[in-house]
């Protein structure tokens, strides 16, 4: 009797554990949300605009810059988050993913840091801080982790308080801390030195850059993080 009772209690405990694990997994999955449904431009608009610029269209399931337009941003704002997206550019393609975008300036890059997206064989010589995966003009990528031009590349952007990581195709290529002495030194030596609101926002929009070339994005997902 005792053996059967112990076995039954063990089975109940394991069942409860399994249920708990499934619930935890489901809860984790539910933290992620899509920022692009693959069919429409819902959830996006032009930077400092109410509407979506006509130059951005959904093409073959990807949010694509197809003609002269403007930078675009999410309608929602985010503070601390993990973002994943796939991107593709043609030869000489150039764009970027921006975070904590504020709209108190006429130009998006005056206010927000950029995960650089570019063809590394660009038709103009590139500095290391301008290569794909860089924190544009401030931190170069540790190596070239891009896939052949015309392929889909996987970007991951982790932003938690002042801590930021750039991942490209599974490789962490950049890691930095906002607002430190090193950060301020780099900003003073960059093109952002004349923009006092650059990278000061603790919360803002996700932005995609229009840079006079075709670029496509898909599988754009985000999960908000809580600071410990």
Same domain (yes/no): 18, 104: no
Contact 116, 135 (CB under 8 A): yes
Q: Which residues of 16-48 are buried (b: 16+ CB within 10 A; e: fewer)?
A: eeeeeeeeeeeeeeeeeeebbeeeebebbbbbe
Q: What is the domain extent for residue 125? A: 35-224
Q: Which of 115, 78, 116, 97 is nearest to 202 (CA)?
A: 78
Same domain (yes/no): 22, 85: no
In sequence order, the 6+-apart residues with CB closer than 8 A to the CB of 145 are 132, 133, 168, 169, 170, 171, 173
> What pLDDT score does 1 carry?
44
Over residues 82-105, the pLDDT tens digits come to 999 999 999 999 999 999 999 999
> What pLDDT score does 7 carry?
44
Same domain (yes/no): 177, 153: yes
> What pLDDT score does 226 carry?
83
Domains held by the chain: number: 2
Same domain (yes/no): 68, 2: no
Same domain (yes/no): 184, 96: yes
Same domain (yes/no): 27, 51: no
Same domain (yes/no): 106, 163: yes
- Identify the CATH number of the domain in which residue 87 sits: 2.60.120.560
> What pLDDT score does 228 carry?
67
**110 DSSP β-pair partners:** none
Query: What burial class does residue 161 get, using C-beta atoms within 10 Å of its C-beta: 0-12 exposed, 13-18 middle, 19+ buried?
Result: middle
Same domain (yes/no): 29, 94: no
Helix (H, G, I), strand (E, B) or coil at 4: helix
Spans in the chain with pLDDT lower than 70:
1-30, 228
Instruction: Please state, in angstroms and as integers, the Cα–Cα distance from residue 226 to each residue in 94, 161, 222, following that order.
Output: 32, 9, 13
Same domain (yes/no): 96, 140: yes
Question: CA-to-CA distance for 187 and 192, rounded, in angstroms?
Answer: 6
Same domain (yes/no): 94, 176: yes
In the numeric block, which tokens belong to residue 82? 């993990």
Q: Are strands 205-208 and 153-160 parallel, antiparallel or unpaired?
A: unpaired
Instruction: Please state, in angstroms and as integers, the Cα–Cα distance from residue 131 to each residue in 72, 98, 143, 206, 223, following that order.
Output: 22, 15, 9, 20, 26
């Amino acid at each position: 009797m005792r053996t059967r009772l112990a076995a039954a209690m063990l089975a109940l405990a394991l069942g409860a554990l399994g249920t708990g694990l499934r619930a935890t997994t489901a809860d984790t999955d539910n933290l992620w949300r899509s920022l692009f449904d693959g069919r429409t431009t819902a959830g996006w608009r032009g930077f400092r605009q109410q509407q979506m610029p006509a130059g951005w269209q959904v093409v073959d399931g990807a949010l694509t810059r197809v003609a002269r337009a403007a930078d675009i941003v999410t309608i929602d704002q985010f503070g601390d988050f993990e973002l994943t997206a796939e991107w593709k550019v043609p030869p000489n393609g150039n764009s970027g993913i921006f975070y904590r975008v504020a709209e108190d300036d006429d130009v998006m890059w005056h206010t927000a840091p950029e995960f650089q997206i570019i063809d590394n064989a660009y038709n103009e010589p590139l500095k290391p801080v301008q290569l794909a995966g860089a924190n544009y003009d401030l931190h170069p990528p540790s190596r070239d982790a891009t896939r052949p031009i015309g392929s889909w590349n996987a970007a991951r952007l982790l932003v938690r308080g002042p801590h930021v990581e750039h991942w490209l195709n599974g490789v962490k290529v950049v890691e930095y801390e906002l607002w430190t002495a090193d950060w301020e030194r780099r900003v003073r030596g960059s093109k952002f030195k004349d923009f006092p609101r650059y990278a000061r926002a603790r919360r803002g929009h996700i932005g995609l850059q229009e840079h006079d070339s075709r670029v496509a994005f898909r599988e754009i997902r985000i999960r908000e993080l809580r600071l410990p």
